[in-house]
Amino acid sequence: MSGFRRGLRLGIDVGKARVGVARCDPDGLLATPVETVRRDDGAVARIAALVGEWEPMEIVVGLPVNLRGEHTASTEDAISFAGEIQAASGVAVRLVDERLSTVSAQHALHASGKTTKSSRSMIDQAAAVVLLQHAVDIEKSTGRPAGSVLPPPEETV
């Protein structure tokens, strides 16, 4: 399908303690881990620096909703964090349903012989990879980008 928008993307898996970051090549063939960022006062600045380094066309942020698709406190936290990233980086953010991306990442790491305790930071990166690859695959199969665009920050008068 020719509806795929060519360009590098960053994937962000927002957690309470850590933020997983992944990237994909411009053709969306493969999402790969970048790093795990500690969720502290410097997290947004570090992600903005990664955006400056990789120069993505957009940032895909996981939207954690419950299995019924409803918003939770984690959903609101991810939306707020995504807004901070967008404001700090100037790059458009797309919110994509991430149900089960962390679970998928944990299963994949466990299958490769890694324990959850020894691979927490790897899980965050792997979850970002799963999320980003899923978003790219949806766009390739449907011709439409996955998820929804985060509205730009409101102008202050």
What are the pLDDT digits (tens) for 86-96? 999 999 999 99
Q: Residue 101, Cβ neighbours under 10 Å: how many?
A: 24
Share the mean pLDDT of the chain.
Answer: 88
Q: Rounded to two decimals, what is the model's pTM?
A: 0.87
Helix (H) or strand (E) holding 139: helix 120-142
Taking 90 as the threshold, does the pLDDT of residue 122 lie above it?
Answer: no
List pLDDT tens digits, range 66-103.
888 889 999 999 999 999 999 999 999 999 998 755 55
Domains contained in the chain, CATH given: 9-148 (3.30.420.140)
Contact residues for 22 (Cβ-Cβ < 8 A; gap 6+)? 10, 11, 13, 31, 32, 33, 34, 125, 128, 129, 131, 132
Identify which of 119, 92, 91 has the alpha carbon closest to the alpha carbon of residue 105.
119
